[in-house]
């Protein structure tokens, strides 16, 4: 089994070991911009007051130490450790040295067995690309921050003082900062970002990503509207549409890599050409279909070389 890294270009695909690592409890937040501390295993609860920023930092392990898709306030995810990610089904938020990204794993099936494609739907990165030990911290004041190991701020949610108690990775691929009532205070423009051959995009659903133009990114969406029109938007600008108008229609990607709009009665209203195999993926980035096996090639969309 192979893993193809999400990209609008197949030549950018890379293979990585297929190792499913569940999220472990996040390392406690042990530093801020004024203080660097090494975290050691501590069984008793210890509370530090960081006077320079007025933050309470707990060094005790979280009470519910089972793996899961939640990062509690006062804890962090750190690159190059076993506590570098959140996982929920096919979605994985991972902190790397110099970057943090949210990926969706998509399984392509065919006669040669399953292949895994990874689509990135949300990301923040260090433009200097020199950071080691990067971390994503949910501070006790409710602000989610991505920082270098020395505390340099690279990005933050700007949600301090708004009652945030946890970061949740939903089953639909969205990052949510929630208060104690479970209400969303902030959420990422992310979600299902890709669909493999032999899958459906039902009416009133969409593919969504905000990674194509990472600096000042606007969401890209491919929406199967309730009026039957399949529309690709870059932000609010319509870049392409199927011009189909049968209410309740759905979109599908066939085993020949055809993108189709199909009416509720099963009639094909629009279709791209059948020029690929079942080892193909429709990625929201430029709304493009790429085949990854037995050869890698562009099939259809706005991302032609």
Domain extents in the chain? 3-187, 194-300
Supply the pLDDT for residue 304.
Answer: 56
Supply the pLDDT for residue 131.
Answer: 64
Cis upstream peptide for 294 (omega within 30°):
yes
CATH number of 3-187: 2.90.10.10
The 10 Å Cβ neighbour count of residue 172 is 13
Q: Which residue has the higher pLDDT, 281 or 48?
A: 281
Q: Which residue has the higher pLDDT, 283 or 44?
A: 283
How do residues 227-237 score in pLDDT, each as one tens digit? 999 999 988 99
Among candidate residues 44, 14, 21, 26, the one with its CA nearest the CA of residue 120 = 14
pLDDT band at 287 (very low <50, low <70, confident <90, very high): confident
Do the two domains 3-187 and 194-300 of this chain adopt the same fold? yes
Mean pLDDT of 155-162: 96
**Model-wide pTM > 0.85:** no
Q: Which residue has the higher pLDDT, 122 or 55?
A: 122
What is each CA distance from 190 to 174, 208, 219, in whole angstroms?
5, 6, 8
Supply the pLDDT for residue 63.
Answer: 39
Q: How far apart are CA 93 and CA 174, in angstroms?
A: 10
Q: What percentage of the chain reaches a pLDDT higher than 70?
A: 74
Q: What percentage of the chain reaches a pLDDT higher than 90?
A: 62
Q: How far apart are CA 118 and CA 145, in angstroms?
A: 25
- Mention every residue, 6+ apart, whose C-beta is less than 8 A from residue 266: none
Q: Which residue has the higher pLDDT, 69 or 22?
A: 69
**Residue whose tokens read 């995009």:** 201
Q: How far apart are CA 29 and CA 76, in angstroms?
A: 5
Average pLDDT across the chain, whole number: 80
The 10 Å Cβ neighbour count of residue 296 is 15
Mean pLDDT of 154-165: 96
How do residues 8-22 score in pLDDT, each as one tens digit? 333 333 222 222 323
Mean pLDDT of 143-160: 94
Supply the pLDDT for residue 18.
Answer: 27
**Topology, domain 194-300:** Agglutinin, subunit A (2.90.10)
């Amino acid at each position: 089994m192979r893993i193809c890294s999400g990209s609008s270009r197949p030549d950018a695909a890379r293979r990585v070991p297929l190792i499913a690592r569940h999220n472990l409890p996040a390392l406690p937040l042990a530093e801020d911009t004024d203080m660097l501390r090494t975290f050691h295993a501590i069984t008793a609860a210890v509370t530090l007051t960081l006077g320079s920023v007025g933050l309470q930092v707990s060094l005790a392990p979280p009470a519910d130490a089972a793996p899961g898709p939640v990062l509690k306030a006062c804890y962090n995810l750190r690159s190059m450790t076993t506590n570098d990610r959140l996982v929920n089904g096919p979605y994985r938020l991972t902190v790397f040295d110099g970057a943090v990204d949210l990926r969706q794993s998509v399984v392509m099936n065919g006669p040669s067995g399953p292949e895994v494609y990874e689509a990135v739907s949300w990301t923040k990165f260090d433009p200097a690309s020199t950071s080691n030990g990067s971390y994503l911290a949910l501070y006790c004041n409710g602000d989610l921050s991505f920082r270098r190991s020395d505390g340099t701020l690279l990005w933050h949610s700007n949600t301090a003082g708004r009652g945030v108690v946890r970061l949740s990775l939903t089953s639909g691929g969205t990052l949510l900062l929630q208060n104690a009532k479970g209400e969303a205070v902030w959420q990422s423009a992310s979600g299902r970002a890709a669909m493999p051959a032999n899958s459906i995009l039902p009416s009133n659903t969409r593919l969504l990503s905000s990674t194509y133009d990472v600096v000042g990114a606007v969401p890209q969406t491919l929406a199967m509207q309730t009026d039957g029109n399949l529309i690709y938007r870059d932000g609010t600008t319509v870049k392409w549409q199927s011009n189909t108008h049968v209410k309740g229609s759905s979109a599908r990607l066939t085993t020949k890599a055809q993108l189709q709009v199909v009416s509720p009665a099963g009639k094909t209203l629009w279709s791209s050409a059948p020029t690929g195999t079942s080892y193909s993926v429709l990625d929201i980035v430029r709304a493009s279909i790429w085949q990854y096996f037995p050869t890698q090639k562009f099939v259809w969309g706005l991302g032609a070389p």
